[in-house]
Structure 1
């Protein structure tokens, strides 16, 4: 069942983050407001790794627990927008990378077919002109070179796009995740301190 067909988030899978301060979620060198800020590398890695383990047929909910003395309440919409914008941007980057891969793949395929054709022609030409075991080795070498040259474009079209598609799908799921910010109780201090 697709994620958008799931009523509400009753069947959502949850990713939980516990933070002392909401700023921990973001890159500290990024001067932009929350909605446009970059997630910290650690926060992104944590969220992505958790999301990869979740069932693919469920929506995702990200729950952020912030200690009571940290930022929460009023910033909740900003957290949701920032996380959604970040992963939406990552999904767009994967789409762009896939387009570039297929563009490069078409060029590599064209070059590969030209080189393969030339190698096969040379092998055929040698078989018509030269006899003997050495000629046979040279002919077969050209055939092998031609097929090796065509392998990389074939690999690009057959395999290289699959991880990109998988990441893009995951990033889209995370971009549409519901983000909930809760105030967690401040840690208790020992009596007499």
Structure 2
């Protein structure tokens, strides 16, 4: 297994962050679900996208790497505050958030829990806010196969993807509208991105 700090640095080579960052308004209040080593939030701070950020994950070792990296850089970004904590410590009352991100997470969630997991994430989006959802692609088949092989090697897990039509359906039932959809690749990995918004009060 590669060192976590190295994985943090290599992640943007596999999962490009630029398509995600461009969807974040400046100095937002951001919840990153499944933040891992914090690569997205840490980069977002550098791009002036985060005023207050919370990253949650089930992997405590990854969270510690995220905290250490933030501690080393935080003095250079006095406008921003980041907190990284275990997922099970997030209060039900936390939020709502201007931006909620769920990046390459849902395929790790057991199939029988995926709908409830996504609906809970959608409910964290504030009125006028947005959900940035990205996961590995289902097509073409060979990119799907490479994504699956990657997770089998790196996470020792046989993943379970969710078709985008289900994501759109559940998001719509939770009051979110798809405002942008992208399909893109990096190396041999394929990515599916949905940006979803919730109307402001009175809209």
Q: Same fold (TM over 0.5)?
A: no
Structure with the higher helix share, 1 or 2: 1
Structure with the higher strand share, 1 or 2: 2
Q: TM-score normalised by the shorter chain: which range applies?
A: under 0.3
Q: Which has the higher contact order (CA 8 A, sep 6+)?
A: 1
Q: TM-score, normalised by structure 1?
A: 0.23
